Amino acid sequence: MKVGVVTFPGTLDDRDAARAVDAAGATSVALWHKEADLKGVDAVILPGGFSYGDYLRCGAISRFAPVMEKIIDAANGGMPVLGICNGFQVLCEAHLLPGALTRNHELHFLCHDQRLVIENTSTAWTSSFTKGQEVVIPLKNGEGSFQCDDPTLAMLESEGRIIARYVGENPNGSRNLIAGITNERGNVVGLMPHPEHAINPLTGPTADGLGFFTSVLKAMVK
C-alpha cells in the first residue's frame, strides 16, 4: 500500500506525515509539486505548512500546482485524499471540499494540544475510530477558522459530513466548532489539527493521530 505525501515549496510537515504513514504499516512515497505524476500511489496526503508562503490566500497558488491536477482527478475518481492544515486549505481552494479557512478569530497563531470528538467514522480516513471518541492531537495554525454560508453548513450537518469537532472553547472561530469535514463520497477529508504529530507518546501528546493513517489502510484493503 503506497501513500503519497506531497511537498510544495513551504511545506513543513511532509516528513512527519511520511513517518506516520510508515508507522501505520503503509509505504510513504514522496510526491513533488512540480511533477504531474502520482507514482502509482493508492492514496495521497497534503501535509501542513505554508505552501507558496501562503501568498494571496492559503492554498490558493498550490491548488494550481501540476501535481494537484492529477490529485483532483484521482480524488474525483474515489482515491482517498487527506489534507491536514495547509492541505485542508488547498482542498477547499481546489473545491474538493466546501467552505474556506480564514484567519483565527483572535488573530493569534495557535499551537497547543487540542481535544477533538470524532463524529463520522465511515470515511476513508476515520474508520479506525469509534463514533463519539475523543482524541488529543496538536493544533497549530494562523488561518484555521472554518467558514461557509448557511446552506452549506446545514448540508454538512444534515449529511453527517463533519468528521471532527473541537471540544471545549472554540479555538479559532470555526463555525459549529468544525475541525474537519469530508466530501459526499467520504474519500476526501480535510482536518485542521495535526494527527501526524501524535503517533507516538514519545514525540507527541498521544498516539491518537495514528488512527487516521491506519484507517486508510483498511479503506484500501476493501
Partner 1 sequence: MAKIVVDVMLKPEILDPQGSAVSAALPRLGFTFAKSVRQGKRFEIEVDGQPSPAQLAEVEKAAEKLLANPVIETFVVRVEN
Query: Residues in the site for partner 1, rule: CB under 8 A?
Result: 56-57, 60, 64, 92-93, 98-100, 102-107, 145, 147-149, 173
Cα dihedral 83→87→91→97 (10° resolution): 50
In angstroms, give the least distance from the CB of 206 to partner 1.
Answer: 30
Between 19 and 175, CB nearer to partner 1: 175
In angstroms, give the least distance from the CB of 111 to partner 1.
Answer: 18
Between 9 and 173, CB nearer to partner 1: 173
In angstroms, give the least distance from the CB of 150 to partner 1.
Answer: 8
Cell of 115: 481535544
Q: Is 196 among the catalytic positions?
A: yes
Q: Are the CB atoms for 31 and 6 separated by under 8 Å?
A: yes
Q: Are the CB atoms for 6 and 63 separated by under 8 Å?
A: no
Between 89 and 126, CB nearer to partner 1: 89
DSSP result, 44-102: EEE--B-GGGG-SSTTTTGGGSHHHHHHHHHHHTT--EEEETHHHHHHHHTTSSSSEEE
Q: Are the CB atoms for 54 and 91 separated by under 8 Å?
A: no
Active-site pick, 93, 119, 143, 196: 196
Active-site pick, 85, 92, 119, 197: 85
Active-site pick, 93, 119, 194, 197: 194
In angstroms, give the least distance from the CB of 57 to partner 1.
Answer: 6
Between 30 and 56, CB nearer to partner 1: 56
Report the C-alpha gap between 121 and 119 in whole angstroms: 6
Active site residues: 85, 194, 196
